[in-house]
Structure formats: C-alpha cells, structure tokens
Structure 1
Amino acid sequence: MTVLKHGSTGSAVLQLQHKLNAAGAKLFPDGHYGPLTEQAVRTYQLRAGLVADGIAGPSTLRALGGGDCCRLLQNNAVLAAATRLGADVAAIYAVTEVESLGEGFLSNGKPKILFERHVMHQRLSLQRHESDDAAALKAHADELATLYPNLVNPRAGGYAGGTAEHQRLAQACMIDALCAPESASWGTFQIMGYHAERLGYASIDDFTQRMAKDENEHFEAFIRFIEADPALHKALKAKRWTEFARRYNGPAYARNLYDVKLARAYQRYQEQTAEVPA
C-alpha cells in the first residue's frame, strides 16, 4: 500500500507533484514532500471531497489517477462525526488515520475482511437461548475444529489475506451462516461482525450489506463503536490516547505504539485544522 506524506522523497513523490500540477497546483517538482506539497494534497482532497489529511494514500492516489471515488470516505463525514461525538476535528482525523486500513475494499470490489477462526469457535459455543445446552454446543464446536481446523479453532491463525479471506468466510458460512459473518472483521476499521446488533444494526445481514456499500458505511460503524463504549468515547473527547488505544486496540496497543501514533497524529492535525474549512 503506497502512502506518501510529509518527509517522503523520491520518484513517487515527483510523480505525485506532476499529477497535482496537472490538477491545478503550482508546485516545483523536486521529489520532496514538504509543506507546499502537503498543502497541495490537502487542497486537492478538499476539492475532491476526500478526507483532507494531507497524506497521499491509496484513495488520493487513485483519485489523482482518474479512478472512481464514489465509494471512498468523504471529508464531510469526518467533520460531521466530530460534531456528533463532541470531539475535536483533529482528534477524529487522528483516529481515522491510525485506526484505519487506508482502503476498505479489495480490487474485486468486496469489502476487506479478516476471518477469525477462534471467534468462529467462540460463536459456535455461545448460548443464544436459555434452552441451549452449553456442553453440547462446546462439544459440537470442538468436533468441527477437528474436522475444519482452518475455519473453527480455539486458537487464532490460519489467515489467507486479501480475497482469500472471503473464500474462508464462504466456507465457514456452509458450517453456520450466522456465526461465520459474526466471526469476521469488516471494512476500513475492521469492526467485528458480532458487534452488529449492539451497534444498532437490524441484524448481521443488515451490517454486512452496509459494509459492502462504501467506506462511509465503514466509518459509520466505527463511530457507532465509539458511541457504544462510554469509556472509549470519553477517552477520545479528552484526548487520553493511552486509554483510547488500550480500549480500542487491546493489550498489544503499547507494543504497536498505537498511543504514540495517535498522540503524534493529533498534534499534526491540530496544527492543520485551522487550514481545513469546517
């Protein structure tokens, strides 16, 4: 995934500068992604309706190359989310950058997913009704794990990546059509399917159908996820990045420096916010 941003250098930046000039910018093409190139990117993003983060990621590069932008996350959605959540616009830009995959769809048009076989095991073992026999459910899940260890397993793993994850999901749906989509993370922000009803979707089918539409739906799921966790929402509003990262990314947040990345991104966007029309 190509991502060009402030400080980047080389032929890819030079090509970017030429494309920006073709779109109306007046840069001196020098192959250095400095403040003027960053501002030119942000100006182009605003004109195209894209998230105005000043970073030339896959979406911006696709748009500059004449690609279809109809399914990309829109800047207006980010600004509306800041009002909805009562958070700084810079904070929303920061979490959108750090917690997203950059692109929410695969080359074949399907939403990015990651099928989690250990979650499939958990969902198959879940008592959904009072009459359910917990021991029988667990035994059935364990039996399926023996037969199909790549699809049902107490341990995480077995990832194939890309379009192959949809093949794994399709195979899992043949085992259980409800548990399978619940056991995958969906879209730009990788929201797990089992959260669907808690986030206000009518059903898992409603959720997956919306995830297949566009990145704005992915962003909506992300915002709902924040709203559904009062402590996470509070941490975002207060810019307590360690707490936000711990609650959103889990125990591995520190090893992956999510809190540091969020703090740095927020500082950068805070400096830029005055330049971005509300």
Structure 2
Amino acid sequence: MTQILRLGDKGHPVRDLQAALNRSGSNLLLDGDFGPLTERAVKDFQRKAKLVVDGVAGPKTMAALAGGDCAVLLKEQDLVRAAEQLGIELAVIKAVNEVESRGSGFFAPGKPAILFERHIMHRQLSQAGPEDDRELIVQQISELVAVHPDLVNSRPGGYVGGLGEYPRLARAKMIDANAAVESTSWGLFQIMGFHWRLLGYTSADNFEQAMRSGEAAQLEAFVRFIQADSAMHKALKNRKWADFARRYNGPGFARNLYDIKLARAYERYAETQEAAA
C-alpha cells in the first residue's frame, strides 16, 4: 500500500516525494521534511493535475506524479459541486471524503472498489417473487445456502477482499444478476446497490454502470444518499459529527472515532480555506 504523506512527516519517503515534485516543476530542497513549502508544492501539483486539493500525498497524488491516468479520479471541482448540491461548506465535504471514503474508488482500471455481502444476497432473494410462492422461494434459498454458502447465507462473512470480490460477484450474478448488484457495496463511499431505486437510478444495472464510470459518479451517489435522508443531511449541514457518524456508520461509530476524525479534518480544511481567503 502506498504510504500517505502529509505535513509534519519526515524521512526518505518525503525526500522521494520532493524529488518527484521537482521533476514536475517544483523547486524544493530535498531535505526529507514535509513542511509548509512541500505542502504548497503538493497542492500546486494537485491543482495542475486536477485532483482534489488537500496537500496530502496519497496513492492518487503519487500515481499522478508517476504519470498515471487520472481520468476517473475525483477532482476538486467534483467536491465543490457536491458541497453546492448539499448546501454545505467545502471543508465539510472534504472532511467526509477524507474520513468516510475508501480513499480510492477503484481497485484497478475498470474495477470499482466493491464488497459483496452474502447476507444481503440472502435477504434480497428472500424478498423476491410473489407472496404465494413463498414456500418454494424458501426451499430454493435453502438449497442455495447448502451449495453456495459463501454467496448466499443468513450470516455476514465469506469475504475475500480487493479484486478477489469480483469472482464472488460474478458467481452471484449467475444466481440472480440484480440481487448480486444490490448485495454489493460500491465505490468510494461503499453505497449498497439495493439503494438504486431510492437514489433515482433506473435499475440495478444502471447503478452499477454509474459506479464503473468514475469517482465523480460515485460521489454523486453519496450526495443522493445524503439527500434521501433528511435527518442525516441536517446533521451534516450543522456539523453534528456524532449524529452524522451514527447515522452513516451505525451505532459502533464511536469505537472507530469517526466523529472525532471528522471534526479534526473539518477544522484543518476550514483553517486552510480561511488562510487562502
């Protein structure tokens, strides 16, 4: 995994970053100290590459410095647009993007970040079909659980992780393509496929194709998800971090300090915006 470098870091990785920035037009002293000048150079490069401007050298910035294709990556303007749609400060959406996203919406070119949930597949299949065929449906699902417990199960689990989730998704689609897409979380913000109708997509397949098109579309799905929940939207607008984190992450949010991380990230981005103004 690519190391994430930010203000205050020191060492050889920072020196390598400084050298890469110099090759892209900066004029930094190669001292291995990620100070304000290095942070400014990172932001300048991110603007030039049309990435999110946060001054943090993560996998996307490092890939861009190495000449990688940035076409499907999230851009500063995407976050500006999302903030306008939600009626929130840019610093708020940047904090959410930092804390609540996977960091990357793709495992590899053309492969959005996913996680297939076998217990959701079990639920989606259980809800399908007419009520008068309920006994037959229950029998069919029991047979699937016996034959494919890693794909259909009443309990969570069976995860492979990373690109290894794609063979699971492909096998699940052979059982029921729509239910498989609905049973998968997609992209930067891990939006579950079963929300497709609520979020205004025309079908599960339409939702999947949007998630494959780029991180901007994945952010748009997140925006729609927030807009669909008035209480969550209100909490985000008012920067009620604990309330927002509880609604977005579930009751275990405090264990992972999501509210504290969001508050700290917001303060950092808000200070940066004030300084720029």
- Please, what TM-score do these two structures have when normalized by structure 2? 0.95
Counterpart in 1 of 2:6?
Answer: 5
Q: Which moved more, 1:1-10 or 1:219-228?
A: 1-10
Alpha-carbon separation, structure 2, partners of 1:184 and 1:98 = 21
Runs of 4+ in 1 over 6 A off after TM superposition: none
Is residue 186–residue 193 contact of structure 1 (8 Å, CA) maintained in 2?
yes
With over 3 angstroms needed to count, the CA separation of the structure-2 counterparts of 1:251 and 1:197, relative to structure 1, is same
Unaligned runs of 5+ in 1: none
Is residue 82–residue 219 contact of structure 2 (8 Å, CA) maintained in 1?
no
Is residue 181–residue 193 contact of structure 1 (8 Å, CA) maintained in 2?
yes
Alpha-carbon separation, structure 2, partners of 1:255 and 1:140 = 39
Alpha-carbon separation, structure 2, partners of 1:108 and 1:216 = 15
With over 3 angstroms needed to count, the CA separation of the structure-2 counterparts of 1:132 and 1:7, relative to structure 1, is farther
Counterpart in 2 of 1:88?
Answer: 89
Give % identity.
54
In structure 2, what residue type is equivalent to 1:48?
Answer: A
Alpha-carbon separation, structure 2, partners of 1:110 and 1:79 = 25
In structure 2, what residue type is equivalent to 1:178?
Answer: N
Alpha-carbon separation, structure 2, partners of 1:14 and 1:135 = 65
Counterpart in 1 of 2:61?
Answer: 60
How far did 1:276 drift? 5.6
Q: Is 1:264 the counterpart of 2:257 in the alignment?
A: no
In structure 2, what residue type is equivalent to 1:226?
Answer: I
Alpha-carbon separation, structure 2, partners of 1:48 and 1:276 = 19
Q: Which moved more, 1:106-115 or 1:197-206?
A: 106-115
Deviation string 1:177-224 (CA, Å, 9 cap, x unpaired) is 111110000111111100111101111110101111111111111111
Unaligned runs of 5+ in 2: none
Is residue 52–residue 276 contact of structure 1 (8 Å, CA) maintained in 2?
no
Q: Secondary structure at the match of 1:185?
A: strand
Alpha-carbon separation, structure 2, partners of 1:78 and 1:168 = 32
Q: Secondary structure at the match of 1:274?
A: helix
Counterpart in 2 of 1:24?
Answer: 25
Counterpart in 2 of 1:233?
Answer: 233
Alpha-carbon separation, structure 2, partners of 1:259 and 1:136 = 45
Counterpart in 1 of 2:211?
Answer: 211
User: How many matched pairs?
Assistant: 276
Q: Secondary structure at the match of 1:199?
A: coil
How far did 1:134 drift? 4.0
With over 3 angstroms needed to count, the CA separation of the structure-2 counterparts of 1:271 and 1:29, relative to structure 1, is same
Alpha-carbon separation, structure 1, partners of 2:41 and 2:149 = 50
How far did 1:257 drift? 1.0
Counterpart in 2 of 1:197?
Answer: 197
Q: State the superposition RMSD in angstroms.
A: 1.6
Q: Which moved more, 1:19-28 or 1:171-180?
A: 19-28
